[in-house]
Every structure is written in structure tokens, then in C-alpha cells.
Amino acid sequence: MDGWVIWFIAAGVLLVIEMFTLTFYLLWLGIGALVAAVVGLLFPDSLVIQIIAGAVASLLLTIYTKPLTRKFRSGRGYRDAIDELVGKEGIIVDPVVIGRTGIVKVGNETWSATADEPLQAGETVTVIHRGTTVLEVRKKGG
């Protein structure tokens, strides 16, 4: 099998995995693999040139798009959908004990949750803060 075909397969796999993770890092690696595939078509006998071209493309995309995405996120009118969880109501699914996370359902999603007081399953809560993967909640009306 020709090297460029392997690069195209690798690019396809990376791009499909990226669709599930949404991190953009695998996207840049996938595009780097596509660059290596094109170089493989032009220089089929030089694996080193293919690897260097793919690596350089991935590295440049990673370095130069980080400031662009940061600028986009800080632009006027941009709101992260996850930030909109603050203020929404949810239902405790797994009890929250002080010092240990529980589970809260907000809309159709379940999240890990912490609170300043113990909360039992079935209690209605309000999201007061969002961490990376954990929501801080308070008993509704509390």
C-alpha cells in the first residue's frame, strides 16, 4: 500500500475522533496528516519529508490558531453555551455530601455537583457556579 493512502486513512480517523472530542488538537493533527498525504503523492519515496511536512503543518496550526480562538471567544456577543448553566434549575440525582461530589440533572444533561450543604436525591437546586466539569449548586430558595 502506498504511503499517501496510509496518511489519508490516518487523517480520516483523526478527523472522526475529533468530531467526538471537539478539542481542535486532533483536527490539526488530521490536517497535518492530510498535508503529509499530499506530500506523499508528490514525493512518494521520501517518508522523512512527509513526516516533517505533516508535523510542521500541525505545529503551525496549533500555534497560530490558539490566539485566534482566544480572540473569538473574547469577542463581543460570544457566549459559551455551558456558561448559560449558571442560574438554571436542576434536580439532584445522586446525593451531594460535603466534601464529595454528587450528580445533578440540568435540562437533559447530568453533571457532577458540589454544594455547601448536604443535598438529597430529588431536591431542586439552582446552579450558582460552573467549574471545568463540576457545577456548584444551592438548594432552591436557599
pLDDT-above-90 percentage for the chain: 57
The pLDDT tens digits for 90-132 are 999 999 998 899 999 998 889 999 999 999 999 999 999 888 7
Domains, the chain, ranges and CATH? 3-74 (no CATH), 81-139 (2.40.50.140)
Burial 73-109 (b: 16+ CB within 10 A, else e): eeeeeeeeeeeebeeeebebebebeeeebbbbebeee
pLDDT-above-70 percentage for the chain: 87
Instruction: Say what angle helices 25-42 and 47-74 make with each other, to 10 degrees.
Output: 150
Q: With 0-12 CB in 10 A as exposed, 13-18 as middle and 19+ as buried, what is 20?
A: exposed
The pLDDT tens digits for 78-91 are 555 566 788 899 99
CA distance 69 to 125: 33
What's this model's pTM, rounded to 2 decimal places?
0.52
Beta strands 109-114 and 134-139: pairing type? parallel
Q: pLDDT at position 79, please?
A: 57
Q: pLDDT at position 86, please?
A: 87
Strand partners, 119: 96
